[in-house]
Amino acid sequence: MCFLFSTFPRTGKCHVQTIQLCRRLAVEFMNYVIASRSLRKVFLSIKGIYYQAEVLGQPVTWITPYTFAHDHPTDVDYRVMATFTEFYTTLLGFVNFRLYQSLNLVYPPKIDGQTDTELKPAEGTEYAMDSESYLEKLSALSASLARVLAPAHEDEVEMDEFPVEGETAEQMDARKQEQEALEKHKKLFEGLRFFLNREVPREPLAFVIRCFGGQVSWDKSLCIGATYDVTDHSITHHIVDRPRVEPQVVGRYYLQPQWVFDSVNAKLCLPVADYFPGVLLPPHLSPFVTEQEGDYVPPEKLKLLAMQRGENPDDESEEEDEEEEEEEDDDKEEEEDESEKEEEMKLKKMEEQKAQSNKALSVKVTAGKVRLEDKQRLEQEQQSEEKRLAIMMMKKREKYLYKKIMFGKKRKVREANKLAAKRKAHDTAVKEEKKKSKKARRA
């Protein structure tokens, strides 16, 4: 509710003080998530942007609307919403205070002295009034926050880890690997410098990039808080949302904004070739969906899982395409050979029939073969028979519940098969279009 009210325009529908308070609290919470690096998932939906952060071991999910022009609907009672918002603002204020204390940060938040001097605009340029400039600097999300006590630079000491009571060695190793993967995920964009073009959504991209250790900037005329210009040669990734960018600087990647969000959800920096300007983007998969047994898993999700395991699915797909082309050429040759062979076989059969009609028919007795028992098939038959008898012995209520569960499973399998068939038809259509375009280019 606070994030929703923070995007409202200053009209007579809501009090201006409430909108300003919601904006301040939302910015404070986002700065805490950046400082703690607790963001885990991002999903761009029709309703807005879903975020999930792990705050003190608890997953917290919230949604922020897109920054479009807002038109107040007439069938909404804003007084009731304002009453609930008053409760949420009070709650979020206390929560932010405790969260900032847990990280040894000053509350209300203050920008670090060094970054504050970097964010000062040039002489003669003012982006906001004096009363609003500090909140604007905070909402830029590009500055580090001041701490109560300066952190002492000490060498990292490796602590001995002891297993929890009742925990096996395998569980301890799995927990250690999970912790290492989490630390690696927190430093996903560390060492990378991003520059946001004017047309991309600045706040969500800056928030996500800063949460994972990256540095971000934008055009100084766009918003306060820019730390470096587009001419900086240390920029590694330039985020754009237009079909072509000219002129391009050598040594940096020009990518569409979806690359940032997909990389966060995949927990690794994805290949940049799929996100170049003007390229058809891959589907944006939801990180909140966990496929269970029998569910349809899209091939893009399987590709991501393979990349997380350290495999390279692109090479396999290229090899498969080459094999398919070779198989198609071989099939054409085989069809031609088979047609010739069929004609030869027909001629031979006609000659044999003529020869057999002249000979007398001879009667032969063939010896029988011993039929071997298939142990695996017998075990399956026995298991199916035991299952059938167990169902027969069930009570009426239990049998009804069992049938209901099995019906749900079969329906899920049918839906998964339908989706798989649709995807297969789509892939075949795309391949045919590619082949036609290749043939047209060759011609």
φ, ψ for residue 163 (rounded to 5)?
A: -70, 145
CB 140 within 8 A of CB 116: no
Distances in Å between the Cα of 172 and the Cα atoms of 60, 156, 183, 409 are 26, 22, 17, 35
284-313 pLDDT, tens digit each: 989 998 877 777 788 888 888 888 787 776
The predicted pLDDT at position 338 comes to: 73
End of a domain among 252, 270, 286?
286
Residue 67 lies in a domain: yes
The predicted pLDDT at position 410 comes to: 84
CB 237 within 8 A of CB 212: no
Total count of domains within the chain: 2
The predicted pLDDT at position 129 comes to: 60
Residue 55 lies in a domain: yes
Residue 329 lies in a domain: no
d(CA 42, CA 239): 17
Pair (97, 193) in one structural domain = no
Residue 16 lies in a domain: yes
The predicted pLDDT at position 363 comes to: 56
Residue 229 lies in a domain: yes
Q: State the DSSP H helix or E strand holding residue 382, giving kind and residue range, or none if neither.
A: helix 375-392
Helix orientation angle between 258-266 and 202-211, rounded to the nearest 10 degrees:
30
Residue 163 lies in a domain: no
Pair (1, 99) in one structural domain = yes
The predicted pLDDT at position 99 comes to: 93
Sign of the Cα pseudo-torsion (8, 10, 15, 18, in order): positive
Token look-up 């605009």 returns 121
Residue 291 lies in a domain: no
**Residues in the chain where the model's pLDDT stays below 50:** 124, 361
Indicate the burial class of 268 (C-beta count within 10 angstroms; 0-12, 13-18, 19 or more): middle
CATH of the domain at 263: 3.40.50.10190
The predicted pLDDT at position 87 comes to: 92
Distances in Å between the Cα of 293 and the Cα atoms of 18, 95, 296, 298 are 47, 39, 9, 14
The predicted pLDDT at position 92 comes to: 92
End of a domain among 103, 130, 149?
103
180 backbone φψ class: left, alpha, beta (φ>0; ψ -120 to 50): alpha
The predicted pLDDT at position 182 comes to: 87
End of a domain among 103, 122, 139?
103
The predicted pLDDT at position 20 comes to: 87
Indicate the pTM of the whole model. Answer: 0.74
The predicted pLDDT at position 301 comes to: 82
The predicted pLDDT at position 330 comes to: 63
Residue 77 lies in a domain: yes
311-357 pLDDT, tens digit each: 776 665 555 656 666 666 666 666 667 777 777 888 787 777 766 66
Domain hosting residue 246, numbered range = 188-286
Closest to 173 (Cα-Cα) out of 163, 165, 182, 183:
163
